[in-house]
Structure 1
Amino acid sequence: MATMPSSEACSMALAMAAVEKGTGDDRGMETLQYSGWRCHRKIHARRPAGGMMPAVRRVPAHGSWQRTRGVMVASQFITQLAFTLGLPFLPLYLQQLGVHDPQRAALWAGASATFSGLAMALMAPIWGRLADRVGRKAMVLRATFAGVLVVGGMALVQGPVALLALRLLQGLLTGTVSASNTLVADSVPKNKLGSSMALMQTAVFAGAAGGPLIGGVIADRFGYRWPFGATAALLLLSGLLVLLGSREEFKPQARTQPSRSERRARTRQIWLLLGPIIVVNFLDQLAGSVVGPVLPLVIAHLAGGQQSGVATLTGTILGSVAVSASIGALIAGRLTGRWPPPQVVAACAGGAAVFALLQGLASSVLLLGVFRVIMGLFIGGTLPAANVLLGNLVPPQDRGVAFGLTASATSLGFAAGPLLGALLVHVGLRAPFLLTSGLLALECLWMVWSSRRLNSASG
């Protein structure tokens, strides 16, 4: 394992991160933050005589970061509300497009999610690296306005192949969550990182709470094409909000050219620290998406096989789960200030595993909904705690690519989960819930095993 910088090296590097404003004393100093792995402190010192200054990041002004965070939370809410208007009902939309058999419709829905997730996993690190070079705000705008065109086109398709192609394009061009999280993480002071990541994740869940419910009502009353048109309109609103309301003081940081051995040591250190977080993101999304393609079919089965009102009922359950998950995200944001984030992740994953198992045993729609809502309370805390840990470990100049890597893991889980769920339908409608429980239990055990290393690195 590559050695971490010594306390003397950190002190020297941090001392170099302060800039003298002309008076030569502490009162004339401007506080800057040195961005090195595990060297996150603010200090006052003189510029070394004749020395080169390392890359630094200006601490954001009070009003600026609050405004940007508020705009991004609102944008995140609108975006997630938009994306969840139509996608939860994809199996039912596919039946309208000519795939009448429920099992084949679930398989098509799973395949579309898989193609979209794989494409997003491929592009996320590329977009993240680009964000480190051109700015985070530009990547948020790219993802949002691309969604306007792609998802809006889904309202006009005439067959499952065209829908599959647009889902692939969606994966290649969108990805708003990681782009928005990177912008917020780079804008807020470090002592506000935990609460800010919790607010961003709460916005995701809150948007996901309203989306399925509103989309289900729209679909039942006007047809399954209309939610996709509404999605495009809301994404346009979200993009304009970010364009006009957020502020970013981004300056590409100068990078020295390291030697080959230094690059190898740095790469190994990054993967040793980020590896556990990447696995958590993968398992969390895999577990969360296994049930997606089959949930409307399970609800229809428990409701006696009736199709009428299934979309509204599905949307109500998904919306309720998202509300409980948003509450869980806020609780987790507070807990990370008291407990180490790895312990918070493990506790949330373990609790979610128990209630995922109970869903597989539910005998009615009511019990399924209750167990799923309680599971949402636990699973809502996993990603905010993981994002806080990521922000503590990764220096600002690498956050774009770091969030991109975790987004790739999330996308891979999103790609594999629906396909696994669709294939498990042939085993039984309850099988996806049992797999979800096992994956969440594995996530809990993995984080317990990794906690000592992560606590040491972020402490």
Structure 2
Amino acid sequence: MTPPESSINWKRNLAIAWLGCFLTGAAFSLVMPFLPLYVELLGVTGHSSLNMWSGVVFSITFLFSAIASPFWGGLADRKGRKLMLLRSALGMSVVMVLMGFAQNIWQFLALRALLGLLGGFVPNANALIATQVPRHKSGWALGTLSTGGVSGALLGPLIGGLLADSYGLRPVFFITASVLFVCFILTLFCIREVFTPVPKKDMLHARQVLTSLKNPRLVLSLFVTTMIIQVATGSIAPILTLYVRDLAGNVSNLAFISGMIASVPGVAALISAPRLGKLGDRIGPEKILICALTISVALLIPMSMVQNPWQLGILRFLLGAADGALLPAVQTLLIYNASNQIAGRIFSYNQSFRDIGNVTGPLIGAAISASYGFRTVFIVTASVVLFNAFYSWVSLRSPPERIRLPGE
């Protein structure tokens, strides 16, 4: 029996969804410290082959997540978001177990792709909370929820490295599977949702989803903004350690310094996201979005001119504080411009664009640094974010305009 809407405790749902996003973020990132080692364990030898396979097995998860997200979003709008959270948590738990039993690189590659296909916890958690929380608290709630995934992605590599050192590579997957199964149990018994299943024949088709939006052009621009945010973040990732080495010289604790500089934006985002989300509820998420993008440009440019790692670390901390406001602001604007009936698909489309950014960002950064040097990466990234700020400003200022589709 479906509980009455008044019985829904959205704050409890938020807490459980936060935990689920944390575990999902950790599950996706915990393999990073020992990914090349596990690829080597599965029979891949040679420096170039090891680098290639490590990159492929990492990126394929995001690629398949981008492909699958719209499907799961549509199913969430028809069957309910809680069901999608359960499917994702249980599916990822089973895949993690299978990864621990992989015998060759092809099996592992297929399972990493399956992990992407069965994902979708984060966008469905966003859709669930966004449709339950009072509108005047949506910025704070989505900002708080975003810190779950950020925390998981931050701590995942650390936890994965410690577990691998203590228990070996394969047991890490089994431990992660157990934790994800706990997430499944918590979601099953602790999250409540009022949802009436929608018959398939009554579901809006993709073109109807687009035309039902209050401001279709703005929503499309927000998807692009999400992608560019991830491109800007990912473009720096493959060069960061090498850039730090150029700045610091051959120091003995290069890995520690690089790891710290890599993690400080996430720490800053954890601090800033709920606070800036709450500020966005008061002054408007569109103002937060434009200001955060502008500040990001102002911080990326001097990163190309720093003379030591500590200057880079300070700038990256400030960048993380600004970046912490970006995705929650985008998500708040999305829910402002979409009905609850299509929220699952809108958030899943946004996740697809985010995953595309996760795949392309590191490739772009690596290509630019190989041709023009490390410092150029920051200049190019700043230019892309500046375009994004201008594009978002124009989209937010433009009055709503219905998109005419072919055949109309």
Bucket of the pairwise TM-score, normalised by the shorter protein: 0.7 to 0.9
Distance 1:115 1:442 in 2: 28
Cα deviation 1:260-307 (Å, max 9, x = unaligned): 9x9498268663241111111111112122233444454566565679
Which residue of structure 2 lines up, in the alignment, with residue 356 of structure 1? 300
Whole-Å separation in 2 of the counterparts to 1:172 and 1:296: 31
Deviations 1:429-457 (A, max 9, x none): 44544443333222212111112137999
Aligned to 1:180: 125
Are the structure 2 counterparts of residues 353 and 149 from structure 1 closer, same or farther at C-alpha, using a change threshold of 3 Å?
A: farther
**CA deviation digits over 1:325-358, x for unaligned, max 9?**
1122112211212222222112112222333333
TM-fit CA distance, 1:114:
3.9
Please tell me whether residue 64 in structure 1 is matched to residue 14 in structure 2.
no
Provide the TM-score with structure 2 as the length reference.
Answer: 0.83
1:148 to 93, 111, 114: 93
Deviations 1:157-200 (A, max 9, x none): 56654443332222211122101111111222323322211110
Relative to structure 1, is the Cα distance of residues 259 and 229 closer, same or farther in structure 2, using a 3 angstrom cutoff? closer
Deviation of 1:70 (Å): 2.0
Contact 2:29 2:157 in 1 (8 A): yes
Check the 8 A contact 2:230/2:358 in 1, yes or no.
Answer: yes
Q: Secondary structure at the match of 2:30?
A: coil
SS at match of 1:387: helix
| Match in the other structure for 2:146 | 201
Q: Secondary structure at the match of 2:344?
A: helix
- Corresponding residue of 1:410: 354
State the distance in 1 between where 2:349 and 2:163 align.
36
Letter in 2 for 1:343: K
Query: Residues of 2 paired with 1:89 and 1:430: CA distance?
Result: 28
In structure 2, relative to structure 1, the CA distance for the partners of 1:162 and 1:279 (3 Å cut) is: same
Whole-Å Cα distance in 2 between the matches of residues 314 and 300 of structure 1?
A: 8
Aligned to 2:191: 246
How far is the alpha carbon of 1:239 from its aligned partner?
A: 1.9
Gaps of 5+ in 2: 403-408
Superposition deviation, residue 208 in structure 1:
2.7
Correspondence list, 1:50-129, <5 A? 60-61=5-6, 64-87=9-32, 90=35, 94=39, 98=44, 100-101=46-47, 107-129=52-74
| Alignment correspondent of 2:334 | 390
The more displaced of 358-367 and 70-79 is 358-367
* CA deviation map 1:352-386 (0-9, x unaligned): 23333333444444333332222111111101011
Would you identify which runs of 4 or more consecutive aligned residues in structure 1 move more than 6 Å? 254-260, 306-309, 454-457
After superposition, the Cα gap between the structure-2 partners of 1:208 and 1:115, relative to the gap in structure 1 and judged at 3 Å, is closer
- 1:379–1:73 Cα change, 3 Å: same
Partner SS for 1:168: helix
Q: Classify 1:249/1:128 alpha carbon distance in 2 versus 1 (closer, same or farther; 3 Å).
A: same
Q: Which residue is 1:13 aligned to?
A: none
Match of 1:45 in 2: none
CA contact (8 A) 2:120 2:348 kept: no
**2:363 aligned residue (385, 400, 419):** 419
Partner of 1:54: none
Aligned length: 398
Q: Distance in 1 between matches of 2:227 and 2:4?
A: 32
Inter-partner Cα distance in structure 2 for 1:246 and 1:387: 21
Distance 2:84 2:75 in 1: 8
Report SS of the residue matched to 2:281. coil
Residue from 378, 403, 414 that aligns with 2:322: 378
Quick one: which of 265, 288, 293 aligns to 1:344? Answer: 288
Give the greater-gyration-radius structure (CA). Answer: 1
Percent of counterpart pairs with the same letter?
30
1:254–1:222: structure 2 CA closer, same or farther, 3 Å change rule?
A: closer
Assess, with a 3 A threshold, how the Cα gap between structure 1 residues 359 and 455 changes in structure 2: closer, same or farther: farther
With over 3 angstroms needed to count, the CA separation of the structure-2 counterparts of 1:340 and 1:454, relative to structure 1, is farther
Larger mean Cα displacement after TM superposition, 89-98 or 431-440: 89-98
1:154-303 equivalence runs, <5 A: 154-157=99-102, 160-219=105-164, 227-253=172-198, 263=208, 266=211, 271-299=216-244
* Structure 1 runs not aligned, ≥5 long: 1-57
TM-score norm. by structure 1 comes to: 0.75
